[in-house]
Structure 1
């Protein structure tokens, strides 16, 4: 197995595709079976994918739009005309396939159909992949995961991120081999010949403040401890969030998300986070994850330093999970929350450097998403916000 990364700041999608393909071919010595591709919305055009298919015979493509730029072992990349990054996988002893399905018939069904199509594309129908890479629009990620698991079971790691745009205006896209898509679940079934490791964490710690969700509806918290959710959250954040002012609160709530315990590792709780997105006119809170009545939520807190350092630490943990020395890492993929990226944007070169330090001299691709998916413990697949998901090979 051989991996290579590439990026381009070219304004024209076909020019960007030509630059990516030339770089990947030179580094790999031949066309990859799989390209994981992330680009800002400016470059999300069918010409980008067509240009790659023309130059990389037989390639499968998976990915989507990334907020604000991309990240590789060469650094953090952004430009006035956008940015695009790719990780190519050359692995003749492995198998890879990409499948996509629209969400209009239901997100769970889309997840099931997408993974079935991915397995067929890999010529591994009715087999269980080693892992799954996913991309879907924000909104119904939990149902997509359920759909994928309905076909392959719950123990296969599902890793990836939700597509993103620049202004949270819904201008995000998903990439499959044949086209740029909108409102689709896109998954890749991976049967790599190399070992892999995965980790899924956040850069936040519990503050000690907790509450029970006593009224909720999908992604909306109506009451915490039988009180209006926005009122409780405002008190928890010392008034940083005004419960009486309805509207978006993403930037203000980034330092103080809500966390739920997803697993326990040797007595250490592992949290999945929810990012409060909006205060409603009725005092409710809207999130970027599902929430249920009876859930115990923890007020979490994080600093810019913790967010900057976390990506490298998660990559280090992914290598440790794989069981090899980080110096022997072949390469990897990093999903870093777009909200975290915007919060520490002036320090993203430092984030990239710390990831590079965690897998010295290995190629990697990082994207900035509006939702993160990963496996925490025993392939406990979850969707969260403000998190880092890493996949490494060794």
Structure 2
């Protein structure tokens, strides 16, 4: 298998189309995974040559811009990773969907993707997904109901620049705003991955005593916002009033702690707004009976964690498969990026060093999906993931 990385200027539609034509690939890629601004993904969807370049696309809009190992200035870049793998098998399916139909749509799309890969009834080595915000838990539920937790599922939710709902995805045929794209991968090389966050636990926690999907109503039978603001006070942070709190809560999210092999891992939920009744709207779902922990972060934790996650995934590829890394995909939450705008170049530099300068692409997403060490695929916020594609004998 060969993996090709391209970083193109997508500010102008005509210029982007010319760049795609100029790539002059010897053969059509089996799959292309891409990130870019909303403008860049929209421009890609208008380039008819895209279907000649790749049989399948999962192109996801990223907050402000995409990033890659190629240092670039400006905006509206299109970062593409293409897989040329005649021995492997790949299939993509998509759906326009909503919260009422997402679970069944997820199962139907997964079956369609497996059929497209000519692997009906088989378990892929890996699933890559691109959902619009709000559909992530349903998408994972559908996958789980169909094939269990035996296959790692990774991806990033589509994003825009101001949470106005202009995010989009391109599957090679159509532009999707509310829905998802799912890809099944049966590659001829090994894959390793890691999913984590750049935040630390505090001593403060409580039980969810009332919740309605992404609305956290009460903690320990008290209004959720009252408990959250008390925790902020204990941590020398200013209490937050009713209204939007997305930016103000970035360094103080809520976490659900997963224990595995005596190691604690946190799955984060990002508070989006506080309602007048004292409930909190989150960017991920919480359930009654779960224990919620107050988390804390800072610039250095986020900068260092991106490199750490990438380095762990790279080391696992060597330890588990004795394979050298060929290329990577890195997901970095948009909320984290917006919180440290002056340090984001340090994040990119750390990733390059951790991956030993192999080609990679990345996006700033409004939600992150990945597999924890306990084998469960989950959706969270303010998370970081890295997926490493190994080399076969011909690629080394």
- Gap change, CA 1:111 and 1:34, over 3 Å in 2: same
1:146-165, CA deviations, whole angstroms, 9 ceiling, x for partnerless residues? 11222232110000010000
Aligned counterpart in structure 1 of residue 41 of structure 2, from 39, 44, 48 = 44
Q: Is the 8 A contact 1:222 1:283 kept in 2?
A: yes
Aligned to 1:90: 84
TM-score of the aligned structures, taking structure 2 as reference length? 0.92
Aligned to 2:204: 209
Q: Determine helix, strand or coil for the equivalent of 1:31.
A: coil
- How many residue pairs get aligned? The number is 386
Post-superposition offset of 1:214: 1.1
Q: Determine helix, strand or coil for the equivalent of 2:305.
A: helix
Q: Determine helix, strand or coil for the equivalent of 1:36.
A: strand
Aligned counterpart in structure 2 of residue 72 of structure 1, from 65, 68, 71 = 68
Post-superposition offset of 1:19: 2.1
Post-superposition offset of 1:44: 2.9
5+ residue gaps, structure 1:
none
1:15-50, CA deviations, whole angstroms, 9 ceiling, x for partnerless residues? 224325634x56xx5432111011111223265363
Q: Does 1:364 align with 2:367?
A: no
Question: d(CA) in 1 for partners of 2:46 and 2:372?
Answer: 32
Q: Is the 8 A contact 1:69 1:77 kept in 2?
A: no
Post-superposition offset of 1:54: 4.9
Q: Is the 8 A contact 2:44 2:50 kept in 1?
A: no
In the TM superposition, 1:372-387 aligns within 5 A as: 372-387=368-383
Question: d(CA) in 1 for partners of 2:364 and 2:179?
Answer: 18
Post-superposition offset of 1:77: 5.5
Q: Does 1:237 align with 2:206?
A: no
Post-superposition offset of 1:240: 4.2
In the TM superposition, 1:177-188 aligns within 5 A as: 177-188=172-183
Question: d(CA) in 2 for partners of 1:213 and 1:98?
Answer: 37
Q: Is the 8 A contact 1:18 1:55 kept in 2?
A: no
Question: d(CA) in 2 for partners of 1:365 and 1:20?
Answer: 17
Question: d(CA) in 2 for partners of 1:148 and 1:339?
Answer: 27
Aligned to 2:95: 101
Q: Is the 8 A contact 1:14 1:51 kept in 2?
A: no
Aligned to 1:297: 292
1:212-267, CA deviations, whole angstroms, 9 ceiling, x for partnerless residues? 11111111111111111111111111274545x321101110001101023x2321
Q: Is the 8 A contact 2:318 2:324 kept in 1?
A: no
5+ residue gaps, structure 2:
391-396
Question: d(CA) in 2 for partners of 1:241 and 1:98?
Answer: 46
Aligned to 2:394: none
- Gap change, CA 1:146 and 1:17, over 3 Å in 2: farther
In the TM superposition, 1:328-339 aligns within 5 A as: 328-339=324-335
TM-score of the aligned structures, taking structure 1 as reference length? 0.92
- Gap change, CA 1:30 and 1:260, over 3 Å in 2: same
Question: d(CA) in 2 for partners of 1:52 and 1:114?
Answer: 25
Post-superposition offset of 1:342: 0.7
